[in-house]
Amino acid sequence: MSCAKLGSYNFCSDRVNYLGNNFIYSSSDFGRVDVYTTIRSYLKAGSGTRCYNASDPNLNSTAWFANYIGSFVTLITLEDFKSFVSTSQMKAFLGDSTNLKLFSGTPVSETVTNYYITKLFELDPTFSLLKLPDFFFCSSEIPLSAYTSLSQADALVILERYQKVCNETGDTQVTVALASNIQTVTQQTLVKLGNGSSALSISQITSMSSSVMVSSLSTLGRVTTWSQIQVTTMVQILTNSGFKLNSSDSLQSLGTLVAGISSSDIQTISATVLLQATTSTTFVSNILMASTVNQQTFVQQIISLNSIPAMIVVNVPDALATAIPPAMLVFGQGTVDINVLNNKKWTPDQSSMFFELLAETAFDIEQLSPYVLQGFTCKGIQNMKKSTILQLIHACRPRNDRPKVMLKESQLTCMYNQLRGGISQNFSEYPSDMLLYFESQDIQKNNCRSYFSKLGDADFSVVSSVLNKAPKLFLEATTCLGINSKSLSKDNVEVLGNMVCTLDGSYIENSDPSILEKLKSCKDFSNSQVAAMETLLLSGNTQYGNTSTWNIQTLKDLGILPLYLTRNFWSQFTSATKRQFLKSFLSTLRKEKTERTKLKSLFRQISSLLVKRAASCTVGNITQVIISDESFPFGYDSKQFEFCLDVSILKDNLDSICQKVDDENFQAVILKKLNQAFPSGIPDQDVQMLGPVSRAASLDDISRWNISTIDTLGALMKPEDGVWITAQSKAIITKYLSTSENSLGITELNMINSYLCSLDVDTLKTITTKSIRNAKPLNVTSCSPEQKKVLYEISNTSFRTYRYSSDNFYDLVKAYIGGAPVADVKILSAQNISMDIDIFRSLQLEVIKALTVDDVQALMGNSLRDLKLFENDPIIQTWVNLQPQSDLNRLGLDLINNRTEAITASPSSSGNTPSSNQPLSTTTSGGTTGSTTGSTSGSTSGGTSGGTSGSSSDSTTSDGQGSSIFNGVKLMTPLPSLFLAALLIALQQVLQQPA
């Protein structure tokens, strides 16, 4: 069957075509693979390309692959491809339209087609994309230069084809490269660009006339991939040209551009107009693309129409309900429809405000949304029937048809305490996270495997570290599953589930490789866990195979794990493979708002340690096209980044650059160049684009920023951009407040949140009661005691109207209760509030010390059992050690007072025991001294434990631990110095007695 034996060219190529397309192999003793093997053997024999001679009319066809491989191309390997044709002759073959059609019309190996495209443009850089079949349009091997060298007309033709063919898999960088060829933006241009209009640069957008923009709103308003600076710029152009934002129709006509309206402009729009616009679900969806500041301003405007809570929840769109202040969710009995509440998106603070209304409703509890159920609190259920409470707990179980109900620890322990004595062995009936708090006696021995299997779905990060739950649960699991080594079987791993996230590296390294699949669900890893994962992967004994076989698919199959791995792992991949993987991986991580510290670590681990020594740009000038690569700035070190980034490019692409740069060395370059670009100070609009780069700023940098609008303040305070240190946040907020008419208003407080604690007390005192009342609950955990007192006083005044008219006062003020005085806390103890353990621990320590057992019992109500759960917490220990054991016993929680009471005889008493009418002076190990005649005072004097005077009598017994028990009171073993002092005093008394 070889061509050598068949003679003429026509017969040879025709024979290949016949055998490839017409021959029936079912009736022969050979198959397609046999035929291809023969063809391959012939074509590889000898030197040069067989069956080709450029000077022979019969053998000079460049359709060589189509002629001599034909449909057998599906069997070709990369090695075959390289051996068939010499590099010198390849150029003519690769550009041949018949060959291109062959490789694009049959299922050929991706490795082969990638090589084909790579060599095609390498050997002929001017090859026209217009000649390329659609199949190849989505190839990542096409060089960017092929896109950027087109005319505007050709670029639009290619873009239209690219969007059609690569709709789901298209690369943003290709769209930007094509759009970079556009010199004049017209209405027709925008229509052809379609969703690709977001690839236009800020310079291209500002070059557009307002008339073109107005006439193209129907196109521009459908683009869903705009950046904030793009929509802001376009809305400014429109409004400056006279476009009015004064009707529902005009707002809706903006489409997705509505996200670019400034908060100050929203405040000028009639609330009635805004309400009318919300009848369009598309308009509401577009508002959700706006900044948080704009969304909150929008909702505040709607609320201004009618501030009655029942009307607020009707007027505010469901998806924007999270912006409603909790204080405006205090409903009178029977004034609100649960159906309305159930359709809205809520925060836990909001839903807890109306959760107790479920006690009187006939609404089907099974149908309650996760957003309503997350309002479950011990306070909210105290007036409910037991059956209703159990139904609510059951409704929070995992369900396939709805999102997880997100519950914090105090809610989970409250649920568990409600179930005590009646826990079902069908563990799927309960929220997975609640299973973390089950005790061993709750689980029947023959059901332990079932329990741990369901526990494997829990989020172990919910548990407070002081409880040390994970090691205890794992110990119980080893007993249940018969685990007696650090080598976990596949079955062990499957049952343990998310518990593997808590195991140290030695277990990961020695367990069945399936543990890697379970680790993909973990939220974070320790260094030892990462090292163990790498050891396991590099061993080659996993489903990912030997390192020599690793490729981009390996990285994709590893899920989230590459985010945490080090250079030991990344060194196994080529730079090209890493870059290609980062394009999709980084895009996903950014959309999911991955912590910036993790992104920074990834960039450092994946980048080369070698810094190129050069005095100029050698890697390649940074352009808009380069920046649009999702892997940017991979491939640059900080020096090359500085050399290759021009100030004009930085200014025109500031938003994109800042969102992609996480390394502080690169961020420092950006800040330095911005200061050069704006010697008189960086404008508000540019400051708004700094994103994570802002966190690398010095106080001197911040002093150069204009922060005059709430939009700028809000942009700087985005949590996803990283954490501010105190000095930075203080400088930013102070800078904002230095602008006339700016104050710590409602939106300001919502944006600043915990950074409020960076401000001086005098500044905090300027906050009005209205601002606190209409803001969301603020996180004041990091505030000083003095700051907390100021904030509590303001909030106490803000919500005083709720103190006696409803039972929501506590819910509203609890965020600030860490600054409450003892008297106010004691008043709350009489109001049946069931304070949860987290709020109790947030009280000032001096307040906690002053509370009696009766006070705490009344305060905590249904949450009281958590005192036992958290008995090892230092704050709880302090309080317990201040209470008489007899009082603690009344709680029935088995709380043990570990204090030591030293008994000192009165100087006027004679003998070795205290006078019956003299109070005992007691000193606790917590440093509290008081007097008691049977109970211990709660007053403190900073006394020191350890001193005991007087001698023991027959009523003194040993406790077996070096201490003594005197009439039920534990005595400390006296120090030698104290014993000597007592001996001298006794001797002096003897000497002073008359003879």
Helices (H), 22-77: 32-44, 64-68
pLDDT at 987: 52
Lowest-confidence region among 327-331, 360-364, 408-412, 838-842? 360-364
Q: What is the mean pLDDT of residues 855-866?
A: 96
Q: Please say if the pLDDT value at position 661 is more than 60.
A: yes
At residue 448 the predicted structure's pLDDT band, cuts being 50, 70 and 90, is: very high
- The reply to whether 599 falls in a domain is no
**Separation in Å, CA 370 to CA 157, 392, 393, 933, 962:** 48, 11, 12, 54, 55
Q: Strand, helix or coil at 958?
A: strand
Q: How far apart are CA 336 and CA 348, in angstroms?
A: 18
Among the listed residues 489, 437, 433, the one whose alpha carbon sits nearest the alpha carbon of residue 457: 433
pLDDT digits (tens, 9 = 90+) for 392-430: 999 999 999 899 999 999 999 999 999 998 999 999 999
**Separation in Å, CA 408 to CA 411, 413, 431, 816:** 6, 9, 11, 19
Task: For the chain, give the mean pLDDT.
Answer: 88
pLDDT at 17: 74
- The reply to whether 253 falls in a domain is no
Q: What is the mean pLDDT of residues 497-518?
A: 97
pLDDT digits (tens, 9 = 90+) for 371-397: 999 999 999 999 999 999 999 999 999
- The reply to whether 371 falls in a domain is no
Q: How far apart are CA 657 and CA 344, in angstroms?
A: 36
Instruction: Give the rounded distance of the alpha carbon of 675 from its chain centre.
Output: 31
Q: Please say if the pLDDT value at position 911 is more than 50.
A: no
Token readout for 50 is: 């067989």
Q: Which range of residues forms the domain containing residue 75?
A: 1-142
pLDDT at 14: 67
pLDDT at 360: 82
The proportion of the chain whose per-residue pLDDT surpasses 90, expressed as a percent, equals 76
Q: What share of the chain is helix, strand, coil (3-state, %, to 5)?
A: 60, 0, 40
Lowest-confidence region among 469-478, 635-644, 895-904? 895-904
* Residue 229 near residue 254 (C-beta atoms within 8 A): no
pLDDT at 806: 64
* 969: phi then psi, degrees, rounded to nearest 5: -105, 130
- The reply to whether 384 falls in a domain is no
- The reply to whether 506 falls in a domain is no
Element of type H or E holding 235: helix 228-240
Termini Cα distance of the chain: 139
Q: Please say if the pLDDT value at position 15 is more than 50.
A: yes
> Which region, left, alpha or beta, applies to residue 334 given φ > 0 means left and ψ of -120 to 50 means alpha?
left
Cβ neighbours, 10 Å, residue 249 = 10
> Which region, left, alpha or beta, applies to residue 344 given φ > 0 means left and ψ of -120 to 50 means alpha?
beta
Q: Strand, helix or coil at 920?
A: strand
The number of C-alpha atoms within 13 Å of 221 and in the hemisphere containing its C-beta is 20
Q: How far apart are CA 563 and CA 524, in angstroms?
A: 10
Among the listed residues 700, 741, 738, 694, the one whose alpha carbon sits nearest the alpha carbon of residue 714: 694
Lowest-confidence region among 158-162, 481-485, 543-547? 158-162
Q: What is the mean pLDDT of residues 216-237?
A: 96
**Separation in Å, CA 427 to CA 397, 521, 555:** 9, 21, 36
pLDDT digits (tens, 9 = 90+) for 154-203: 999 999 999 888 876 778 899 999 999 999 999 999 999 999 999 999 99
pLDDT digits (tens, 9 = 90+) for 41-98: 888 876 778 888 888 888 889 999 998 888 899 999 999 999 888 887 888 899 999 9
pLDDT at 332: 79
Token readout for 685 is: 């609009």
- The reply to whether 878 falls in a domain is no
Token readout for 178 is: 């094509």
pLDDT digits (tens, 9 = 90+) for 126-139: 999 999 998 898 88
DSSP conformational letter for 705: B
pLDDT at 919: 37
Domain count, the chain: 1
At residue 611 the predicted structure's pLDDT band, cuts being 50, 70 and 90, is: low
Q: What is the mean pLDDT of residues 436-463?
A: 97
- The reply to whether 240 falls in a domain is no
For CA atoms 638, 639, 641, 646, the dihedral sign is positive
pLDDT digits (tens, 9 = 90+) for 925-959: 334 434 333 333 333 333 333 333 333 334 444 44
pLDDT at 992: 46
Q: Please say if the pLDDT value at position 345 is more than 60.
A: yes
Q: How far apart are CA 421 and CA 489, in angstroms?
A: 35
CB-based contacts of 792: which residues, under 8 Å, 6+ apart?
813, 816, 817, 818, 819, 820
Among the listed residues 455, 464, 420, the one whose alpha carbon sits nearest the alpha carbon of residue 434: 455
Lowest-confidence region among 329-333, 395-399, 810-814? 329-333
- Going edge to edge, which strands form the sheet with 969-971? 956-958, 964-966, 969-971
pLDDT at 905: 39
Q: Please say if the pLDDT value at position 875 is more than 60.
A: yes
pLDDT at 914: 39
Quick one: 135 exposed, middle or buried, by C-beta within 10 A (0-12, 13-18, 19+)?
A: middle
- The reply to whether 607 falls in a domain is no
| pTM reported for the whole predicted model | 0.85
pLDDT at 47: 73
Q: Please report where in the chains the tokens 């505007």 appear, as a residue.
A: 152
Q: What is the CA radius of gyration of the chain?
A: 37
At residue 369 the predicted structure's pLDDT band, cuts being 50, 70 and 90, is: very high
